[in-house]
Amino acid sequence: MANIPNILLIYTGGTIGMVKDYHTNALKAFNFNQIKEKIPELNLLDCRIKTKFFDKPIDSSNMSLKYWVKIVDIIENNYDKFDGFVILSGTDTMSYTASAISFMLENLNKPVIFTGSQLPIGDLRTDAKENLITAIQIAGTQVNNKPKIVEVCLYFEYKLYRANRTTKISSSQFNAFHSHNFPPLGESGVHLAFNESLLHKADPNKNLIVRKRIEDNIVILKLFPGITKQVVQSILNITGLRGVILETYGSGNAPTDKWFIDLLKVSIKNKVPIVNVTQCINGSVLLGYYETSSILKEIGIISGKDITTESAIAKMKYLLGEGILFKDFKAIFEKPLRGEMSY
């Protein structure tokens, strides 16, 4: 007998949850308790939908560690009651949040699908309805009464992505997200089509572990031509700094000036891990491929390989929060933990 999936819809805030008051033209919050009345197409889905929302929905620009913990708390407290979860949030920081949640949920064996929209749900040309309906449909897709998707994903504009591979690429187009270094896990056309070979396979013998200890005191250091010693020094000397994401050129290249290398050496000596990620929208860090990255490899800079900046931040926060020792940090970071980088 087929199981009718129970899906929990979690609204954190963002454009997708807004409707226009046509008397005042002002945007107001959408009542997700009335979701099936407002979007009757959801009644066609073969699943039961329950809703839960933040007491005070937030703009995604205000997303922070405490809200990440709040999201995983909701999932943890409802994990045994539901077959899948759809999380609605603002798009501006969705890739950061979805990446973080992927690391915070270990041994996940149910779908967690992030989505949102570029236009409010009440707009005439909104993308909200399609994104929402299909995200719920994906979360409810089962094979032999088992979820098809067992990882954290992001669905937007007909594409299903591994969440920790995504980047927001547009503030004005409906195809606002892309996964530059990893193919989509699925596409929505006349039918839902999944890329079977790419889907994560869950271990049914492992129980969900929720990781809530996240380190917040890290920084991104983005290189640019003419960056000064004073700028780099002020960033690396931040009191209590625990980790650095170094955004380099091309395949991981950086200035070879002695002052620059010496500052990096001091941070590494002080047991502050530095992860090298590329500023390019696709491609990988290849430490040592060019002379300008060889010295970085020699002094112990960690290769981010083809990880996104968003995912690198989330991964570093997670590993530091878990208390990974500095001597082990490089080996652990350079291995894929949730499919966030290639081997």
Nearest to 279 by CA among 339, 221, 217, 233: 221
> Does residue 112 sit in helix, strand or coil?
strand
* Calpha distance 217→182 (Å, rounded): 29
Catalytic residues: 15
Which position has the token pair 């994906």? 138
* Calpha distance 343→340 (Å, rounded): 10
* Max Cα-Cα span within the chain: 69
CB-based contacts of 122, cutoff 8 Å, min separation 6: 18, 19, 20, 30
How many Cβ atoms are within 10 Å of 158's Cβ, its own excluded?
A: 16
Task: Specify whether the CB–CB gap between 98 and 161 falls below 8 A.
Answer: no
